[in-house]
Amino acid sequence: MAGNFEAIPGGGAAVALDEVEISILRSLAVQLLELIGPGDEPAQGEDPLAALFAEGPTEPPADPALARLFPDAYGDEDDELRAYSSEFRRFTENDLRGRKRADGLAVVRTLDALASAGEGGAVLKLTPDDCLHWLGALNDLRLTIGTRLEVTDEDEGGELYRLPDSDPRKPMVMAYLWLGALQETLVETLMP
């Protein structure tokens, strides 16, 4: 199980993590939450149905990583498609942000519970619902890091993966690859 998710009886998945891995995962999840930003939760006594119809932003985020997490629905080839994307974003981005926030919080909470269980490494056991939150968060982390590293489809096997240890991007490339391996093994455990 070292570093790879494995299916557990009754559903869910488990992975052995050491203290450093727990710390890195938690730090990345917290940074993702900071990037996504706070939620616009309904105020006490506010109609939750009204919150569903609250209007969100109409323009894509300026930050390239956020733009990757919250892409345009229809592209921006012409004015008509931009208008459709703007309308779609207005009614969906708040909900999408909320789901991404919930995924990141689930990761932080499961890691916090694991860290409080004792010193050293531990085996993280996820319920089927936790697995779905983790998949979402791992995907968002990889998209964010990949955007910051300017990874493209053409980079598969490219120079980014052969950086010298002295390159300041090397730790993020290593995190990107590690998160990809975690994500892949978690997907495999959920496959019938």
Of 14-18, 105-109, 118-122, the range with the lowest mean pLDDT is 118-122
The token duo for 37 is 């930003």
- 6: alpha, beta or left, given left = phi > 0 and alpha = psi -120 to 50? beta
pLDDT digits (tens, 9 = 90+) for 130-189: 999 999 999 999 999 999 998 877 766 567 778 889 999 999 999 999 999 999 999 999
Tokens 């323009």, located at residue? 59
Whether residue 2 has pLDDT greater than 80: no
Q: Which residues contact 123 (CB under 8 A, 6 or more apart)?
A: 1, 14, 15, 16, 17
Span 111-115, average pLDDT:
86
Evaluate if pTM is beyond 0.85: yes
Greatest mean pLDDT range, 40-44, 50-54, 87-91, 137-141: 137-141
pLDDT band at residue 117, thresholds of 50, 70 and 90? low
pLDDT digits (tens, 9 = 90+) for 67-109: 999 998 887 778 888 888 888 988 889 999 999 999 999 999 9
